[in-house]
């Protein structure tokens, strides 16, 4: 059941791509844990914070089509490397800004970097799977979750030590850039997939047929992921009122179990069926959110968020892989379409949660997310993923 992990961790190119996935999660985990400081610094309520966070998906949505253009012009490897270095640099802006407009600009730029890097690194993974005849996409997404977990743990530890948020982000960004440079040769050794002019078209189109149902499931999964990333630390501070040392533990618990699920995903999906894995995951995620809401204590909330992590873990990698294999579509085209809606759900969903929290409260908003988890369990029965 874990033989695929041995393949992954002994394959130099897989590990190099895994470092990119870890880096994206690592940066986001640090940022997400520090969101409450931005809220406090500028005196924002939940709705205002939600609107501010909207800048990130706005940038991602505008630049998602650019990713396929860059991949076609300079190659998937160069786009991946340039994208992650650029993303690391712009992540320093929001926590260093002294004006709310600069925070918004920083988030917009982060969104552009995430969109470009996300499509490029997933394209590299699917190309490597094809060339080496290995299955690594779920494990690669697990690396993102590992990075998210490590980032949130480190951020929580530094918060407890009293390290300034902007200094934290500078240090984390430098680390990511050095890690990328260390893996540069390994990433560049991956063979570029040949893409013809027709295949390289980047025009956006709305999904049809099976892809449309995959996108609906992906929206539910990614809204849940985005909510956990952006609001877990706020929930731990404002609702649970936990000790500052534990403020990032909810996100860390969520990330730990999401990474574990994804590391096992390349064997779980073939054994039990991709549809069944995602369906059962929806029930687990819903149960975890209900636990965190009904028993808002540190231990029970961390357990609940860990259950959510386990529930959503295999959703993105399975859906990304299925989108990449949709018949009669150019290489990268299905991924780009899926990525557009996935990023929108991941980054714009938390904005809606902010408004619901402002109008009612954050626990109620989490129950809305629980209903989405149950919805994706139903929707996934309407499409064949493998």
Judging by beta carbons within 10 Å of its beta carbon (0-12, 13-18, 19+), is residue 145 exposed, middle or buried?
A: buried
Residue 195 lies in a domain: no
Percent of the chain with pLDDT over 70: 92
Half-sphere exposure in the Cβ direction for 102 (13 Å, CA): 12
In sign, the C-alpha dihedral spanning 168, 15, 331, 219 is negative
Q: Is residue 68 part of a domain?
A: yes
- For position 206, what pLDDT does the model report? 67
Tell me the pLDDT tens digit for each residue of 48-93: 888 898 888 888 878 877 887 888 888 899 999 999 999 999 999 9
Supply the range of the domain harboring residue 352: 8-189+203-382
List Cβ neighbours of 209 (8 Å cut-off, separation of 6 or more): none
- Whether the CB-CB separation of 222 and 342 falls below 8 Å is answered with yes
> Under a CB-based contact definition with an 8 Å cutoff, are residues 317 and 141 in contact?
yes
Residue 223, pLDDT above cutoff 70: yes
Q: Predicted confidence band at 195 (pLDDT cuts at 50, 70, 90)?
A: very low
Q: Report the pLDDT averaged over residues 233-258.
A: 87
Of the listed ranges 187-191, 208-212, 231-235, 324-328, the one predicted with least confidence: 324-328
Listed in sequence order, the DSSP H helices in the chain are 3-9, 12-41, 46-53, 55-74, 76-90, 93-96, 100-132, 137-161, 165-182, 184-188, 209-238, 249-272, 274-294, 298-312, 315-324, 333-359, 362-379
- 81 occurs within a structural domain: yes
Q: How many domains does the chain have?
A: 1
Q: What is the CATH number of the domain that holds 33?
A: 1.20.1250.20
Is residue 2, in this structure, part of any structural domain at all?
no
- Average pLDDT (328-347) is 71
| Closest C-alpha among 253, 235, 242, 248 to residue 308 | 253
Question: Which residue, 174, 133, 112, 166, is CA-closest to 7?
Answer: 133
Token pair 């969109």 is found at 115
At residue 220, what are phi and psi to the nearest 5 degrees?
-65, -45
In a domain, 67, yes or no: yes
Kindly state whether residue 198 falls inside one of the protein's structural domains.
Answer: no
Helix 209-238 crosses helix 46-53 at what angle (to 10 degrees)? Answer: 140
Burial of 2 (0-12, 13-18, 19+ CB in 10 A): exposed
What per-residue confidence (pLDDT) applies to 349?
Answer: 83
Asked if residue 145 has pLDDT above 90, the reply is: no
Tens of pLDDT along 106-123?
A: 999 999 999 899 889 988
Residue 197: inside a domain: no
Residue 330 has what pLDDT? Answer: 59
Question: For 367-379, how does the pLDDT look when each residue is reduced to its tens digit (9 = 90+)?
Answer: 999 999 999 999 9
Can you give the pLDDT at residue 239?
93
Nearest CA to 230 out of 35, 42, 71, 69 is that of: 35
CA pair distance 218, 209, nearest whole angstrom? 15
The sign of the dihedral angle between the CA atoms of 309, 311, 313, 319 is negative
Residue 118's SS3 state is helix
């Amino acid at each position: 059941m874990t033989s695929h992990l041995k393949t992954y961790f002994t394959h130099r190119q897989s590990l190099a791509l895994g470092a990119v996935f870890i880096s994206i999660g690592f940066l986001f985990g640090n940022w997400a844990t520090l969101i409450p400081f931005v809220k406090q610094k500028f005196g924002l309520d939940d709705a205002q914070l939600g609107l501010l966070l909207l800048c990130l998906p706005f940038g991602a949505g505008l630049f998602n089509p650019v990713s396929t253009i860059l991949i076609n012009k300079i190659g998937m490897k160069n786009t991946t490397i340039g994208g992650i270095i650029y993303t690391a640099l712009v992540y320093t802006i929001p926590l260093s800004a002294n004006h709310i407009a600069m925070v918004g600009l920083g988030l917009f730029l982060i969104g552009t970097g995430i969109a470009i890097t996300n499509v490029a690194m997933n394209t590299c993974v699917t190309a490597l799977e094809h060339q080496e005849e290995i299955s690594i996409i779920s494990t690669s997404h697990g690396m993102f979750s590992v990075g998210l977990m490590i980032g949130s743990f480190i951020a929580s530890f530094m918060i407890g030590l009293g390290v300034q948020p902007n200094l934290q982000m500078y240090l984390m960004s430098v680390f990511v850039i050095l890690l990328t440079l260390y893996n540069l040769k390994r990433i560049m050794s991956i063979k570029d997939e040949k893409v013809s002019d027709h295949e390289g078209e980047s025009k956006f189109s709305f999904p049809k047929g099976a892809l449309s149902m995959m996108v609906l499931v992906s929206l539910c999964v990614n809204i849940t992921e985005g909510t956990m990333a952006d609001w877990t630390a706020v929930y731990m501070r404002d609702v649970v009122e936990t000790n500052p040392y534990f403020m990032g533990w909810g996100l860390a618990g969520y990330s730990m179990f999401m990474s574990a699920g994804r590391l096992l995903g390349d064997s779980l999906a073939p054994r039990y069926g991709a549809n069944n894995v995602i369906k059962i995951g929806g029930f687990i995620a819903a149960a975890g959110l209900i636990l965190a809401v009904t028993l808002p204590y540190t231990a029970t909330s961390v357990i609940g968020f860990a259950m959510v992590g386990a529930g959503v873990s295999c959703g993105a990698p399975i859906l990304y892989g299925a989108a990449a294999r949709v018949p009669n579509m150019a290489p990268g085209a299905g991924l780009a379409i899926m990525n557009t809606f996935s990023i929108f759900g991941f980054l714009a969903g938390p904005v809606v949660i902010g408004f619901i929290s402002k109008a009612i409260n954050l626990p109620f908003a989490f129950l809305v997310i629980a209903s989405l988890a149950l919805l994706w369990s139903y929707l996934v029965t309407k499409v064949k993923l493998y």
